[in-house]
Structure 1
């Protein structure tokens, strides 16, 4: 996606937001039951979306995980954070689980996290090169 930055810039980020968001929503909802919070941390949470937690806890379990690994709020549901820890153990670099995640920016809900990440990496590259 970052390699496509010149194309997104030429077309205009605002103009590509809708189509990219639609593709992102479809792919991530099928694979990860994504909630399109716009602040994606899948790569830091073992590819398990913390927004599926009924309490939307973004930094580890709430303390109400049942002995069998189910959620205290929805006992029929497996705790998102049990899945996160297991998923991070299978990842090449699962160290993201040990970092505190920023609070959810409510203004990003429904927006493309992919495009936000492209912009972040572009800016990071630009400023690290002294531009």
Structure 2
């Protein structure tokens, strides 16, 4: 019954940003063991699913941009928009698809303004989601450079 939303961790972007930065620093020395498809990835996927699911309602896209979106998961947008609101945002900030839901991107923008280190990353365009990474470890994909690659044919 307890979730990150119940505990309101998702409303503390600066705290989450600090946890993200510390996690990157702690994990960096272990990069050589971070191999997509390895047994290490199985552990990472389980931990990510539990922690990020608990706090952010993570969809396990494999290309996490939480730090670039105000520590808010853009995959929770019903349209899975990765680069800002769709244009169907209600005057009250509601989602056009799920009217009783606040627009994830308005939430992301507000939270990004509270972040010290990654707050301006919300201004950078994200490449389209690579659906082949669905269910894989975003941490491993990030460390090996897979998450940041632009899908073939995009931007040419």
Deviation beyond 6 Å, 4+ runs, structure 1: none
Runs of 5+ unmatched residues, structure 1: 122-131
- Larger relative contact order, structure 1 or 2 (CA cutoff 8 Å, min sep 6): 1
Match of 2:124 in 1: 99
Runs of 5+ unmatched residues, structure 2: 1-26, 147-156
Match of 2:13 in 1: none
Taking only aligned residues, the RMSD between alpha carbons, in angstroms, comes to 1.5
C-alpha deviations, 1:24-44, integer Å up to 9, x for none? Answer: 111001111110000110000
**What is the rounded CA distance, in whole Å, between the counterparts of 2:57 and 2:93 in structure 1?**
19
What is the TM-score with the length of structure 1 in the denominator?
0.85
Match of 1:30 in 2: 54
Match of 2:83 in 1: 59
C-alpha deviations, 1:55-91, integer Å up to 9, x for none? Answer: 1111000001111111010011110001100110000
